[in-house]
Amino acid sequence: MTVEERVANSPYPSGGLLEGKVAVITGAGVAEGIGATCAAVFVKEGAQVLTADISGGQVETAVALGPSVSPFRADVTREEDVEAMFAHALEVFGRVDILVNVAGNPGGRRGAEVTVEEFESLTSVHLLGTVLTNKHAVRTMLPTGGGAIVNFSSAAAFNVDGRISPAYSAAKAGVNAVTKAVAVQYGAQGIRANAVAPGFTLSRKNHAVPPEIMADLESRAALGRAGQPEEQAHVAAFLASDRASFVTGVIVPVDGGWSVKLA
Ligand SMILES: NC(=O)c1ccc[n+]([C@@H]2O[C@H](COP(=O)([O-])OP(=O)(O)OC[C@H]3O[C@@H](n4cnc5c(N)ncnc54)[C@H](O)[C@@H]3O)[C@@H](O)[C@H]2O)c1
């Protein structure tokens, strides 16, 4: 089933949660990834969406979701791309109310194996990408009275296990810090900033995880299973919506209870 079909067949009715809102969503280039799923849920909830990605897949996501979506190719580590992405959103939609920053890249080397290349690659996409997208989201939203930012962190920002790359974990801990800084520095001007911290989630890349590792990862969650991309996207939609109007500076674990377990 495609991500659009899964969202269309969701048991949750559209609540018009994001009616009239314009959202920029990065990392929206992989069908069944969390970013593309956020785009589908946001459209279903009434938003107009700019889908951004480095891969070219943002076009496929936009075509699948229809006329309320405009694609834009952007590398979140390049400030000129990020600036151009918000300029494009203003040109097409006239305003930006929401940033959902999902773009991310994988890395799995443990402490004794980490390389400078992996560290730089992970911190540039996750952390510098968050700094730059948040910077230009704030600049774009301030003139229209504010908006909402949702960054994608990870359960690995709180704690680690034997598999998690320390560079990834550190980059995501940095995402939490940036989120709190934006919330504190711009709250009085109408900008809310929160983060979603997923646990193991069945985005497309994780469908290929070998069965024995899959079973181990599923057992980490108190709920005993992996999350679905929609389960991340619905929390992001709530945090981005006016229903979360008094929620800011918060990192929300969406991990089936993984991060609260002792082991
Ligand atoms: N899936 C999980 O289990 C899980 C768990 C914890 C946190 N997360 C976080 O959630 C987010 C989404 O995860 P996912 O599994 O859907 O990932 P994914 O790899 O399926 O999608 C990431 C997207 O980001 C894009 N991207 C990579 N580098 C980019 C760049 N420089 N500029 C713009 N786009 C870029 C990729 O092309 C891809 O479309 C990531 O930030 C990830 O770290 C995921």
Closest CA to 79 of 29, 122, 130, 28: 130
- Which domains occur in the chain, in start order? 15-252 (3.40.50.720)
How much of the chain, in percent, has pLDDT values that exceed 90?
90
Q: What is the pLDDT of residues 59-86, one digit of tens each?
A: 999 999 999 999 999 999 999 999 999 9
pLDDT of the residue at 107:
84
CB 240 within 8 Å of CB 18? yes
Ligand 1 pocket member 194 (CB < 6 A): no
Residue 261: both structure tokens together: 């377990």
Q: Report how far residue 199's alpha carbon sits from residue 226's, in angstroms, rounded to the nearest whole number.
A: 8
Residue 220 sits at φ, ψ, to 5 deg, of -65, -30
Ligand 1 pocket member 256 (CB < 6 A): no
Distance 109 CA to ligand 1 centre (A): 17
Q: Whose CA is nearest to atom 2 of ligand 1?
A: 201
* Displacement of CA 56 from its chain's centroid (Å): 18
12 carries an active-site annotation: no
Residue 6, pLDDT above cutoff 80 = no
CB 254 within 8 Å of CB 227? yes
Q: Report how far residue 25's alpha carbon sits from residue 54's, in angstroms, rounded to the nearest whole number.
A: 12
Q: What is the pLDDT of residues 132-160, one digit of tens each?
A: 999 999 999 999 999 999 999 999 999 99
Question: How far apart, in Å, are the Cα atoms of 163 and each of 63, 87, 113, 173, 174?
Answer: 37, 40, 12, 17, 19
